[in-house]
Amino acid sequence: MIRKLVDTPHRVAVGVTVLLILAGVVTLAVRAEGNDRQLVPRSTTEQFSAERAVTHLDRFATEPRPLGSPASDRAEDYIAEQMRSTGFSVEIQHAVGARESTGLATFGRVDNVIATLPGRDATGTVVLAAHYDSAAMGPGVSDDGAAVAAMLEVARLISRDGGLRNNLVLLFTDGEEDGLLGAEAFVREHPSARAGGVVLNWEARGVSGPSLMFETSNGNAKLISLFADAVPDPRGDSSMVEIYRKLPNDSDFSEFSAAGFIGLNFAYIEQPSYYHAAGDSLPNLDRRSLQHHGENMLSLTRTLGAADLPTLRSDQDAIYFRLGPVMITYSNALVWPLSALAVGLVAALAVFARRRRLASVPRMTLAALSAALPLAASIVLGQALWSLLVALRPDYQLMGGLLHRPQFYLAALVGLAATGLGVWYLLLRGRLGPAALAIGALAWPATLGVVCAVIAPGASFLFVLPTVFAAAGALAALLPVRWSGWPAVTLALGLSVSALFLPALALGLFNSTGLAFGGAPAVCSTLFGLMLLPAVELFLPAHAVRNRVALAALSIVAALTIVSVGAGLVTDTFDAEHPRRSHLAYVLDADTRLAHWVSGEQQPTAWTREYVTDHDLSGLPPGYARGPLWAGRAEPITVEGPQLEVLHRDQDTVTMHVDSPRSATSLTLRIDHPIDLASVSIPGATPVTVAVTGVRADTWPGEIRFLDLPPEGVDITVRTPGAHRVRVTVIDVTRDITDAPGFHPRPEHTVASTRVDGDLIAVARTYEL
């Protein structure tokens, strides 16, 4: 006898009703995550207008503007001119920014534009921040030109209002793409940074979608309350904050937060296939995203501008999320009580089921343990799907999982999760029973809620609240109520919270991480499926261990999964609007006068194969290669290599002067020993020193970069602990690969990849110290 957790004489009708209700909830939840902003006409002068802000993008965001480029200088001049015209006092901060990462020290000259409007009766300073530089491969309309344009428009509106109570600083940082260099220099050197304040940072990782508030400073409770009240359409939840805090990703906000600012960080992230690429352009910008960015910015600037800023600091974080149009917030002090309630309700459900002889304790325990199998399988299958796609279409490798039209692949991920879950359920249904499997499955979200309470409290609601409602709904459905519709109502209500949270979570993870981490949305889909087991079980007969209808349905799901993969390969093809990527660089060894084309593509495109032939890297400068590369001989150019002169040596510490006779825009030093300290000095700027830990992977262990190299060069001091004889390969770089002999433009359906070592001419010399 197979005992169901919830049974009813009209089980199929009840099952259909419940699943239709849940499908409706999922649809509404996913639609609520979209962006349906109404654009404000340009003629409306008292509100933020994306149409008006776009006119700024036409002026400064039509070409790439990497650090130190002429386009970056033009953008800087335009921003400063616009801010002066609105009545702000403007300062250009000239400094050297610095950044340390594993085995690497990065330095660069930055020009931050700092515009200030003093407050009438200030309690502190509100800082709006965005970076005006872009990645080298695209015009950076969304990243981060849209935020810059929004700030210019907000500045006009605030000035038109007559200013604010509090001081307002609009900070346009330089060098964010190369390591947050402008923000680092600002917080380290500028007097206004030492006073702290409230910072609102604005970013983008795609070209569409709502403006999400995805990161906060620690102790965000009062800021979240203000955000929820001030913004007409607040988006984002506390799980995003927790996830981002655990990731290695950074934005300028990281520097501000570490320096003692409190604040919020915003971005829109949809259609990420254009991120850092040529497609981050004005035609691809969804102006509704700019509208949402600007409305949030203006509302918060006005609210913070009138607030008593010191009172916004708090010693605790808030839990927050949206239910429809309403932002729900509560103290993180409730995280543990709610987690305990979830565990308690699952335990109560288990006791109730045991007393009614629906399931035994050993079977429920085995069911809970075995539920790890479909969860683990979904992760493995999700990652395997990406590996399969790259094998079938090598051009996907340089996309990093962020594909142009991934909808069918998302369907395939859901299909894989459903197939794995279905196999597990049908195999164990007759052995353990549906009731034991349903209760055991609930142990997983309850456990995840407890785990999150320990390591990521802001994400606990994603698992705790679905568990509380699902367990309570199942308990209610077991009550002896004579109304025939009672099981449908209680099941639907109990599972609705799962339907609100988990599919939206899967979609959000898919949009932000792409297929390269397909296991994340797949496991969320499996977790949602585990919650649905009592409703799905209503379709299966009580006495059948193996049901042909269930097996047929599972086979159809598996077949549809395969069809979805095929449909994705057919529909997600490359064209001028959805281009493939390619990677190519020209490298000259100035010591041997040998020149090569190099590419980091896994399988070179037809265009790239015109330049590279094999994996023979023996002719490249020592220490140049990092990871596997393709290479091919090229015609040498007649230029002089970078110059290195030792100025001073003290055991394992060397100070050297490095410059580029061909006026390169940046320098890279590869060092064949680990480094633990690097400092730079140029005329007119404060010397900067950083400590370095770890070693670089797949190349020489130490590396130093200097971006926007001054004509006179730079003095660099480096310490290589315990090493008294080192080799240094100095590589100077210019982004003018079009001038390399033999180069011809890419076809229209191919653009440069987002790798920072592509589309350049690199000239290297090796020195032994």
Cα 198–Cα 203–Cα 204 angle in degrees, nearest 5: 160
Cβ count near 134 (within 10 Å): 29
- Report the DSSP pairing between strands 688-691 and 677-681: antiparallel
Local structure of 670: helix, strand or coil: strand
Spatial distance between the Cα atoms of 238 and 232, rounded to a whole number of angstroms? 18
- CA distances (Å), 573 to each of 280, 566, 749, in order? 19, 12, 10
Q: For residue 630, give the nearest of 641, 646, 622, 619 by alpha carbon.
A: 619
Q: What is the DSSP letter of 400?
A: T
Q: For residue 151, give the nearest of 220, 75, 98 by alpha carbon.
A: 75
Q: What is the mean pLDDT of residues 438-450?
A: 97
Q: For residue 213, give the nearest of 194, 198, 233, 195 by alpha carbon.
A: 233
Helices 519-531 and 434-455 pack at an angle, to 10 degrees, of 130
Give me 555's structure tokens.
Answer: 């086979």
- Note the pLDDT tens digit of each residue in 30-85: 888 888 888 998 888 889 999 999 999 999 999 999 999 999 999 999 999 999 99
- Note the pLDDT tens digit of each residue in 415-426: 999 999 999 999
* One-letter identity of residue 734: T
Close Cβ partners of 270 (under 8 Å, ≥ 6 residues apart)? 35, 206, 207, 208, 209, 286, 289, 511
Residue scoring higher pLDDT (551 or 215): 215
Element housing 367 (H / E): helix 361-370
- Report the DSSP pairing between strands 580-582 and 750-752: parallel
Helices 519-531 and 407-432 pack at an angle, to 10 degrees, of 40
- Report the DSSP pairing between strands 212-216 and 318-323: unpaired
**Pairs from 592-597 (Cβ < 8 Å, separation ≥ 24):** 592/619, 593/636, 594/619, 594/633, 594/636, 595/633, 595/634, 595/635, 595/636, 595/637, 596/620, 596/631, 596/632, 596/633, 596/634, 597/631, 597/632, 597/633, 597/634
* Half-sphere exposure at residue 122, Cβ-oriented, CA atoms within 13 angstroms: 15
Spatial distance between the Cα atoms of 128 and 297, rounded to a whole number of angstroms? 8
Give me 382's structure tokens.
Answer: 């999700």
Alpha helices in 478-547 (DSSP H): 486-513, 519-531, 533-537
* Chain mean position to CA 152: 25
| Percentage above 90 pLDDT, the chain | 88
Q: How many residues does the chain have?
A: 769
Spatial distance between the Cα atoms of 667 and 734, rounded to a whole number of angstroms? 9
- CA distances (Å), 29 to each of 57, 228, 501, 509, in order? 33, 19, 8, 15
Please say if the pLDDT value at position 546 is more than 60.
no
- CA distances (Å), 504 to each of 338, 461, 525, in order? 21, 13, 10
Phi-psi region of 51 (alpha: psi -120 to 50; beta: other; left: phi over 0): alpha
Please, what is the average pLDDT of the chain? 94
The model carries a pTM of 0.94
Please say if the pLDDT value at position 2 is more than 70.
no
Spatial distance between the Cα atoms of 70 and 31, rounded to a whole number of angstroms? 43
Spatial distance between the Cα atoms of 304 and 307, rounded to a whole number of angstroms? 5
Cβ count near 95 (within 10 Å): 24
Task: For residue 329, list its beta bridge partners.
Answer: 320
Element housing 221 (H / E): helix 221-230
Q: What is the CA radius of gyration of the chain?
A: 29
Spatial distance between the Cα atoms of 318 and 314, rounded to a whole number of angstroms? 10
- Note the pLDDT tens digit of each residue in 235-274: 999 999 998 888 878 899 999 999 999 999 999 999 999 9
Element housing 388 (H / E): helix 372-392
Please say if the pLDDT value at position 6 is more than 70.
yes
Give me 661's structure tokens.
Answer: 């006779």
Give me 327's structure tokens.
Answer: 């932002």
11-20, 54-63, 142-151: lowest mean pLDDT where?
11-20
At 532 the pLDDT is 95
Spatial distance between the Cα atoms of 285 and 264, rounded to a whole number of angstroms? 23
Helices 147-161 and 70-85 pack at an angle, to 10 degrees, of 20
Spatial distance between the Cα atoms of 701 and 680, rounded to a whole number of angstroms? 19
Spatial distance between the Cα atoms of 111 and 90, rounded to a whole number of angstroms? 12
Per residue, the 3-state secondary structure of 560-606, as one string, reads HHHHHHHHHHHHCCCCCCCCEEECCEEEEECCCCEEEEEECCCCCCC
At 7 the pLDDT is 77
Spatial distance between the Cα atoms of 599 and 632, rounded to a whole number of angstroms? 9
Close Cβ partners of 95 (under 8 Å, ≥ 6 residues apart)? 109, 110, 112, 185, 186, 189, 685, 686
Q: What is the DSSP letter of 131?
A: E
Spatial distance between the Cα atoms of 185 and 547, rounded to a whole number of angstroms? 67
Spatial distance between the Cα atoms of 581 and 636, rounded to a whole number of angstroms? 26
Local structure of 502: helix, strand or coil: helix
Please say if the pLDDT value at position 179 is more than 80.
yes
Task: For residue 128, list its beta bridge partners.
Answer: 170, 200
Residue 543: pLDDT band by 50, 70, 90 thresholds? low
Q: Which residue has the tokens 């140049």?
A: 624
Please say if the pLDDT value at position 334 is more than 60.
yes
* One-letter identity of residue 169: V
Local structure of 309: helix, strand or coil: helix
At 1 the pLDDT is 45
Local structure of 382: helix, strand or coil: helix
At 544 the pLDDT is 58
